[in-house]
Amino acid sequence: MVVPALAADIDYGKPGTPVKLVVGYQPYYTQAWSGVVMRGKKFYEKYLPKGSEVEFQIGLQGAIIVNNMLAGKQNIGYYGDMPGIVSTTKTEVADVRLVAVLGLAWDQCNAFLVRNDAPQFKNDQEAIRWLDGKTVAVPKGSCTDRFAQATFKKFSIQPKEYLNQNIEVITSNFRAGKLDAAVMWEPTTSRLVGDGLARLIATGKSVQENDGGLLGMRADLIKQRPDVVKAWLQAELDAQLFIADPKNAPEVIKMAKEQTTGFSEKVLWNSLYGRYPDVAGGGDTRNIMHYTFTPEARELISRAAAFLHSIKSINVDKVRPEAIDSKWTEDILRERGLKAPIAEVKALPASQAPRN
């Protein structure tokens, strides 16, 4: 069998020598904030060979990080489940593997918002039914798209229009009164609610549809530098445990504020530690740190891959077996005497939220 020539392998040096890494991450996606903590706390310095250099590059959405990884401009990527899966299917360009799970949740990506003057609904089920015949927008091909379509299917809903719009357009259309509803991810969900532009009416918990964040690496890095893979994933474990410890909430939010623009500390806090009302699909848990590929994480990846195939985003209906490289995280958990999920981010009392 002839293997097509990939984009040239990058030379990362011999194991044990200093390495240069470029990391794509998403401070504008709350579920991927272990990347924010890695940049802020530099946990990797404890594990990487001395003299190593790490550059963090912000991606406004996962697709940008995927493109940079495929082009060899980034070696490690923090992204949502959909771009993460897509990154593993472009082997004719470059081989990217999934090496860790950033978290699984009900409402980090899966949040239905409606215009402020929509009726006051008794509960999330009534609110979802109201979407029939309405104008709904999502960034198509993202986790929001999967959640919206799964919800429409479960409730036999036919929107009048189902529009492909990015965060900025959705925000301006809510402001202009041109949208009935949208699905959005955190922290933009919290900003739209906080700015009084939209109301949250349902989450993935309302219809038992979860969302997830993933960590990917180029296969040439994995092959050449097992020491670096293990080092990074040791530090990633520290970052996830740091986020889940409630006493670190103020520091996590300070780092997120420093690494984003246009978001207040209060909005950022609400996106990870705030609690939505039960009637709108809220709950006590905001993110579950699975870290490794638990059965729940694998089930979500399977469901998401099938969806991506159905909308022709990828040309396979399941990820190839080697796309999920779970041995690193499994070994680290064993060495550290931990079991997955390793932690949960619990909603905190509103009294602990920043004032502004």
For residues 51 and 19, the answer to whether their CB atoms sit within 8 Å is: no
Cis peptide before 187 (omega within 30 of 0): yes
Identify the three-state secondary structure at position 183.
strand
Tell me which range, 54-63, 231-240, 347-356, is most confidently predicted by mean pLDDT: 231-240
What average pLDDT does range 133-153 have in this prediction? Answer: 95
Question: 161-200 in b/e burial notation, b at 16+ Cβ within 10 A?
Answer: ebbebebebbbebbeeeebbbbbbbbbbbbbbbbeebbbb
- Per-residue model confidence as pLDDT tens digits over 30-47: 999 999 999 999 999 999
How many C-alpha atoms does 270 have within 13 Å on its Cβ side?
Answer: 22
Reported as a pLDDT band with limits 50, 70 and 90, residue 133 is very high
Residue 14 pLDDT exceeds 70: yes
For residues 354 and 274, the answer to whether their CB atoms sit within 8 Å is: no
- Say whether domain 20-104+210-349 belongs to CATH 1.10.1040.10: no
Task: Enumerate the domain spans of the chain.
Answer: 20-104+210-349, 111-207
For residues 112 and 128, the answer to whether their CB atoms sit within 8 Å is: yes
What average pLDDT does range 168-183 have in this prediction? Answer: 96
- Per-residue model confidence as pLDDT tens digits over 88-103: 999 999 999 999 999 9
Percent of the chain with pLDDT over 90: 95
DSSP H or E run through 68: helix 62-70
Question: What percentage of the chain's residues is helix, strand, coil (to nearest 5)?
Answer: 45, 20, 40
Reported as a pLDDT band with limits 50, 70 and 90, residue 7 is low
- Say whether domain 111-207 belongs to CATH 3.20.20.100: no
What average pLDDT does range 230-251 have in this prediction? Answer: 98
What average pLDDT does range 201-219 have in this prediction? Answer: 97
Q: Fold match between 20-104+210-349 and 111-207?
A: yes
Q: What DSSP letter does each residue of 108-154 carry, written as one string? A: SS-EEEEETTS---SSHHHHHHHTTTSEEEE-TTSHHHHHHHHHHHH
- Per-residue model confidence as pLDDT tens digits over 50-92: 999 999 999 988 999 999 999 999 999 999 999 999 999 999 9
Report the predicted TM-score, pTM, of the whole model to 2 decimal places: 0.94
